[in-house]
């Protein structure tokens, strides 16, 4: 993958993660079971995450992050899917062939407790 393509994917992932537009966001049961104020803090931390390093982001796509919030290890991950015939996310469908193209990619952000991985 070219650096330009990875940079475009990172830009689209950051836009989606910060705004929630361009895909779907999923919270696991562990995240949903947190008190509301903690859940909101986790979501805010994912939206503002900037701690990307070569170790946690080797491809430079900004598609994964981890952090500790209120003593709990949190993971978040962005996956790429082709839209179904209605242009909606089909998690049982195929992955996007080109995540740098928002016309053929729907992003899915999953936020989870590390222990749920």
Instruction: Pick the closest to residue 52 from 40, 41, 39, 65 (CA basis).
Output: 65
Question: Which residues have CB under 8 Å from 64's CB, separation 6+?
Answer: 56, 57, 75, 76, 77, 78
Determine contact, residues 67/49, Cβ cutoff 8 Å. yes
Measured distance CA(96)–CA(80) in Å, rounded: 5
What is the chain's pLDDT, residue by residue, as a tens digit (117 residues)?
568 999 999 999 999 999 999 899 999 999 999 999 999 999 999 999 999 999 999 999 999 999 999 999 999 999 999 887 677 777 777 788 899 999 989 999 999 999 998
Q: 32: Cβ–Cβ under 8 A, 6 or more apart, which residues?
A: 39
**Tokens 């899917």, residue located:** 81
If you search the block for the tokens 């992050």, which residue do you land on? 65
pLDDT of residue 2: 66
Q: What is the pLDDT of residue 10?
A: 98
Question: pLDDT for 87-112, tens place per residue?
Answer: 777 777 778 889 999 998 999 999 99
Bridge-based pairing of strands 64-69 and 72-81 is antiparallel
């Amino acid at each position: 993958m070219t650096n330009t393509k990875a940079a475009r994917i990172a830009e689209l992932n950051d836009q989606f993660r910060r705004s929630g537009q361009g895909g779907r966001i999923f919270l696991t049961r562990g995240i949903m079971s947190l008190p509301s104020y903690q859940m909101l803090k986790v979501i805010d931390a994912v939206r503002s995450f900037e701690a990307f390093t070569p170790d946690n982001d080797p491809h430079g796509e900004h598609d994964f992050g981890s952090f500790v919030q209120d003593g709990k290890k949190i993971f978040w991950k962005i996956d790429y899917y082709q839209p179904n015939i209605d242009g909606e996310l089909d998690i049982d469908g195929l992955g996007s062939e080109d995540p740098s193209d928002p016309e053929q990619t729907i992003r899915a952000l999953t936020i989870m407790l590390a222990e749920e991985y």
